[in-house]
Structure 1
Amino acid sequence: MFCLLLLLLLSFLVQGSDQWHNGDCAELSNTTWLQYRQQRLQLQVQFLLLTRQNPECAKTFGEDSLGKENYFNASKPTKVIIHGYRAMGSKPSWAGQLAHALLGVQDVNVVMVDWVYGASFAYNLVVENYKEVALQISVLINLLQKQGCALESFHLIGVSLGAHVAGFVGTLFEGKIGRITALDPAGPMFKGADTYDRLDPSDAQFVDAIHTDSDYFGISIPVGHVDFFLNGGKDQTGCARSHFASMYGYVICDHMRAVHVYMSALNGSCPLTGIPCSSYDDFLKGRCVNCDAFKGRCPAIGLSEKCGLSVSPVPSQQKLFLLTTSLPPFCAHHILLAMEVSALSKSAEVEVTLTTGSLATKQRLRLQKSASAYTTMMAHPVALCEIHSISMRNTGARLYQQGSVHVKWVCLSHVVANTREEPLCINNVNVRRGAPWSHDLVQVCGLFRR
């Protein structure tokens, strides 16, 4: 019994001497409406540290832990994750997933900013708190500078309202922070705000933003050096469009898609590149098909320096557009469809489908009597020469639209492909109502490659 007690005492002493390494893991906060009412005057910001040495056990991090034994390494870059508004007071479950994705790509310090108590329930009051959160983050960065961290080694990743928190941190450091990434930066109360009060390109040496819900919770204007507008920045594929769908599907899905796409991009399984264009409508009509403005290299979502840009000076508020699929890894190949039809006596509508196995991409083209040439951008999960077939169907109304459409030629080309390929073209196609037309593309592509 004496020996057992002695062993237990020694174990306790060892644990106490190494409390940082073996103490309890810290977690992001939750709050309730009652707690909020009792504590709403207390902002309660805390910082949680994750590294490759403690990837599954976050540690509370701050002034008290500096100068002591901890996992923070001042010689490595530091990623700072900043969540935004928490309508119901719940902790951001995605924050840990994002931290793990970052650690999987780079050996860095990841600091998660937890300000759930000040970010919950009443949005207008939460907006009043965001600059105070930025001040507290700046205090931590100042302390870390004294530990040997350079300002350019900090990369702030802000989600929704957290993007503007990151922007104000950048303002406090006069734009010397290395990088800010904004994941669907918040729109309400910020679209018409002065640049001092919202994120803008002057807040860091490089600012990139991903827009996925610019018609509701996100901001619709460019806020960075490069701004990626996924599917136009509004309605995302796979997200419910009905008020009767689940609350998540209708309200949050578009807004949070930026986070999930960013995490997918970190895995690097496929490129998510944007194409510069003045508007989404021009992009869809095939008027923007290259990245000559960036010396032929398109910016890509992810951690590559300046999104892969090598041009100097870095552009500012450059709109970039790309199409995505509905599921991870979200990457789509941009296929430009162009066709010319013979003169029509009535308006018509043709549905074009690209098929690869069980995968099908559909696009409807409205044909007018006054036009003969049409172009449209389509997103397909596989590359051009992996598409099995193309089919067309006359979907026009029986009485009021064209009964038969003669397509002089239809061509498909891969936009921003790694290799320059000539378009695949098929000539002389008749698409009659009730008689869908289909053609094997594998054979065409094989002939082309010879």
Structure 2
Amino acid sequence: MSQQHNIILLCLFTVFITSLVLGLENNSTDEECADLNNTTWQEYRQRSVKLQVQYLLLTRRNLDCAQTFTQQSLTETEQPSYFNISRPTKVIVHGYRALGSKPSWVKDLAVALLRAQDVNVVVVDWIYGASFAYNLVVENYKEVAVQISVLINQMQTNGCKLESFHFIGISLGAHVAGFVGTLFEGKIGRITALDPAGPMFKGADTFDRLDPSDALFVDAIHTDSDYFGISIPVGHVDFFLNGGKDQTGCARSRFASILVYFPVYGYVICDHMRALHVYMSALSGSCPLIGIPCSSYEDFLKGNCLDCDIFKGTCPTIGLSENSGITVSPIPKEQRLFLLTSSSTPFCAHHILLRLEVSPLDKSAEVEVTLRTESLRKEQRLRLSPTDSSRTDTTMYRTVLTHPLPLCEIQTIELKNTGAFYRQGDIHVKSVCVSEFPSNRQDVPLCVNNFHIRRGAPWFHDFVQVCDY
């Protein structure tokens, strides 16, 4: 889909959401606690609101009551700020907003960050400038970055170091963070981009979009690169979840029903917002989300990329670990990393390589591979093509499977020839092997040799193994 088409769709989407919130009034807020701004239909229609940026502060001391944060907050004595100069600072920057909507996820992300680390969390609220037509909002993003840089300069004056700042930008907010980094000549500590915006940025110069030079370390998570997100690497490491496009559990058809179904907002942005939800889940540390470097998603799915040798064997992880766990120096740039995820939190899935070696086939075939435990089963189908027996006496098929549990807990592998009568009726399997990756190089693949799979008669084999946790 062309970039221009994406922009048109975004503008149509803005108009649609606008029609849903006619007459929306500002919500009342607690007098003692700061809150995000809101944009009314009247303000949108008259375009009477100029770009306004405010900052909210959350720490472990005021987790349930955000504090307005200004330059004066750093020096005031009558009403001291909860801000602690000695601690690192996380800066959350939202992106484009549908009219009248506050980013409801901001508090959840702030809480997840504060549970993981004792830090200052500063939320950049530029909703007034982010709630018009998308192309008009893009015109504002650099001015937002300039205003943020004024605050950062003041914080530096009061003792904060640039390397202690970690910007977390969502969608268009990622490019806002990138331009802040440009203004500080790439000396900011870290920028994490959660599905950085694609429309109007894919072909942009690096000066106008996020790129690895904007911070000492830039990591990005891509989940909607064919619509609202960007499809090119923008950081030192770029995690492309499930290829970076269609996420498990999100509906595939995007815009056909946009004018029919009212619950369209979450429906349309499901892929786009998955990056945020995966990142928040990763902050809990319940399971590792590991990326594997590879030139393409297709090569990854074929099992052609199994290790992280470019990083000296340590695979990058999503989350707060320093430089995503990368220890090599200098850090490689624009590295495409791929991983498969599940459809719900904590989103982790174990990557399993299946290698199937079969004798030459006269016809095409389809094999359903099932990995079982006592309570779980996971299936995947593998298409086999006829081979020229004059050239080879065997054919190797490789594919990547996922399972919620590690390989050591899988008890049974089942193969079933699902082809109709016009397909191969009898498949001679020379060997089938399953192995988990990335591995510690001590793991031994589980293999079974020399058996036949007949149509309509499933073959299965039980493994006897113990997990060494």
- TM-score, with structure 1 as normaliser: 0.91
- Whether the 8 Å CA contact 1:82–1:158 is kept in 2: the answer is yes
> What SS class does the counterpart of residue 175 from structure 1 fall into?
coil
After the TM superposition, which residues 20-419 of structure 1 pair with which residues of structure 2 at under 5 Å, given as runs?
Answer: 24-68=32-76, 69-243=80-254, 247-248=264-265, 250-370=267-387, 372-399=395-422, 401-418=423-440
d(CA) in 2 for partners of 1:359, 1:242: 29
| Aligned residue in 2 for 1:12 | none
- Paired letter, 1:120: S
Please give the per-residue CA displacement for 1:374-419, whole angstroms capped at 9, x wherever unaligned: 01111111110101221122222322x1122221110000101356
> Structure 2: which amino acid aligns with 1:24?
E
Contact 1:161 1:185 in 2 (8 A): yes
Report the alpha carbon displacement of residue 34 of structure 1 after superposing the two structures with TM. Answer: 2.0
Kept in 2, the 8 Å contact 1:240–1:249? The answer is no
Q: Does the 8 A contact of 1:40 with 1:117 survive in 2?
A: no
> 2: CA distance between counterparts of 1:87 and 1:76?
34
Over 3 Å counting, the alpha-carbon distance change for 1:356 and 1:247 in structure 2 is farther
Work out whether 1:434 is the aligned partner of 2:456: yes
Please give the alpha-carbon distance, in whole angstroms, between the structure 2 residues aligned to 1:254 and 1:207: 21
Secondary structure at 1:169 match in 2: helix
For structure 1, the residue ranges without an aligned partner over 5 or more in a row are 1-21
The CA deviation at 1:363 is 1.7
Counterpart Cα distance in 2 of 1:103 and 1:398: 60
Is this contact kept in 1: 2:142–2:176, CA < 8 A?
yes
Question: Once structures 1 and 2 are overlaid, which stretch shifts more, 350-359 or 181-190?
Answer: 350-359
Distance 1:398 1:115 in 2: 62
- Matched position secondary structure for 1:421: coil
Change (3 A) 1:30 1:404: farther
Provide the aligned C-alpha RMSD in A.
1.7
Cα-to-partner distance string for 1:152-197 (whole Å, 9 max, x where unaligned): 1000000000000000000000101010000000000000000000
1:419 and 1:90 map into 2 onto residues whose CA distance is: 50
- Find the residue that maps to 1:196 and give its secondary structure: helix
Deviates more, 1:159-168 or 1:88-97: 88-97
CA contact (8 A) 2:196 2:229 kept: yes
Distance in 2 (CA, whole Å) between partners of 1:420 and 1:266 is 29
Q: How far, CA to CA, are the matches of 1:394 and 1:231 in structure 2?
A: 27
Distance in 2 (CA, whole Å) between partners of 1:199 and 1:100 is: 26
| Equivalent AA in structure 2 for residue 308 of structure 1 | G
Deviation at 1:353, TM superposition (A): 1.5
Does the Cα contact within 8 Å between 1:89 and 1:117 map onto a contact in 2? no
- The answer on whether the counterparts of 1:354 and 1:387 sit within 8 Å (CA) in structure 2 is yes
Alignment match, 1:420 = 442
Mapped contact 1:167–1:199 kept (Cα < 8 A) = yes
For 2:250 and 2:372, the matched residues in 1 are separated by 22
Alpha carbons 1:77, 1:154 under 8 Å: kept: yes
**3-state secondary structure, aligned to 1:425:** strand
Distance in 1 between residues matched to 2:152 and 2:374, nearest whole Å = 52
Matched residue SS, 2:206: coil
Q: CA deviation at 1:116?
A: 1.0
Distance 2:150 2:47 in 1: 23
Whichever residue aligns with residue 312 of structure 1, its letter is: S
Measured after TM superposition, the shift of residue 250 of structure 1 is: 3.7
Q: Deviations over 1:85-115 (max 9, x none)?
A: 1123301111110000000011100000111
Aligned residues: 424
What are the superposed Cα offsets for residues 14-54 of structure 1, whole Å, 9 maximum, x if unpaired? xxxxxxxx961111122233222334551111100000110
Looking at structure 2, the residues matched to 179 and 368 of structure 1 have their Cα atoms a distance apart, in angstroms, of 47
**Paired residues of 2:49 and 2:128 also in contact (CA < 8 A):** no
The alpha carbon displacement at 1:136 in A equals 0.9
* Aligned counterparts of 1:398 and 1:45: Cα–Cα separation in 2: 67
In structure 2, distance between residues paired with 1:347 and 1:297: 40
Query: If the length of structure 2 is used for normalisation, what is the TM-score?
Result: 0.87
Spell out, residue by residue over 1:266-289, the C-alpha distance to the aligned partner (whole angstroms, 9 max, x if none). 100111110111111111111110
| 3-state SS of 2:108 partner | helix
Q: For 2:207, what is the secondary structure of its paired residue? A: coil
Which has the larger displacement, 402-411 or 155-164?
Answer: 402-411
The aligned residue for residue 5 of structure 1 is none
Q: Is the 8 A contact 1:207 1:226 kept in 2?
A: yes
Supply the distance in 2 between the matched residues of 1:377 and 1:212 (Cα, whole angstroms): 19
C-alpha distance in 2, partners of 1:111/1:249?
Answer: 26
